[in-house]
Amino acid sequence: MVRYLAAHASKSKQSQLGWKGRQWGVVNKRLLDFAKPVLVELPHKAMNKVPRRSAQRRLQMQQEKINTFRKTARVSFLVGGVLVLLTLLAFLATAIYETIVPPTDMHLSGLLTAAMMLYVAPVGGILLALGGLTWIVDESAAKRRTR
């Protein structure tokens, strides 16, 4: 709107305007000529808050994005750690089971541990590595922002 008004106010040729006089001198001329100004006094604190409200909201939205990013990194790190730890516990439980009971070709704990080592542990390791790396990068960026 401001850009339009500035561009319109700079027009000087009659062919650019399209009508006689400026827009604000023709539309509501009676109201513009005879209207009395209204003075509204605000406390000093309110005057400081008015222009900064949109900037504060933008900053708040950026902070919410950063907080979501931090939560995602930490959850990824913790879930990866839990998956790796769960695989390790299954491996230890299977090792203890096989020392007590003579090993056979097929037993459920051995199959479960093998499947976890093939599928769960790699996913957990990737989540652990990416979550940890993201967490470290975010912490270093936060320290840089506070300087």
Q: Could you tell me if residue 127 is inside a domain? A: yes
| Residue whose C-alpha is closest to residue 76's, from 118, 27, 126 | 126
Residue 132 one-letter amino acid? G
Q: Is residue 81 domain-resident?
A: yes
Whole-structure pTM value: 0.54
What is the span of the domain harbouring residue 98?
68-146
User: 128 is written with which tokens?
Assistant: 């652990």
Q: Per residue, what are the HEC states of the chain?
A: CHHHHHHHHCCCCHHHHCCCCCHHHHCCHHHHHHCCCCCCCCCHHHHHHHHHHHHHHHHHHHHHHHHHHHHHHHHHHHHHHHHHHHHHHHHHHHHHHHHHCCCCCCCHHHHHHHHHHHHHHHHHHHHHHHHHHHHHHHHHHHHHHHC
pLDDT in tens, the chain (147 residues): 556 656 666 655 555 555 555 555 455 555 555 557 777 777 777 666 665 667 777 778 877 887 888 888 899 999 999 999 999 999 998 888 888 887 776 778 888 888 899 999 999 999 999 999 988 888 888 788 777
CB atoms within 10 A of CB 117: 15
Residue 12: inside a domain: no
Residue 4 falls inside a structural domain: no
4: which 2 tokens? Answer: 């339009």
Q: Answer whether residue 19 is part of any domain.
A: no
User: Is residue 75 domain-resident?
Assistant: yes
**Number of domain units in the chain:** 1
Residue 107 is assigned to a structural domain of this protein: yes
Q: Could you tell me if residue 111 is inside a domain?
A: yes
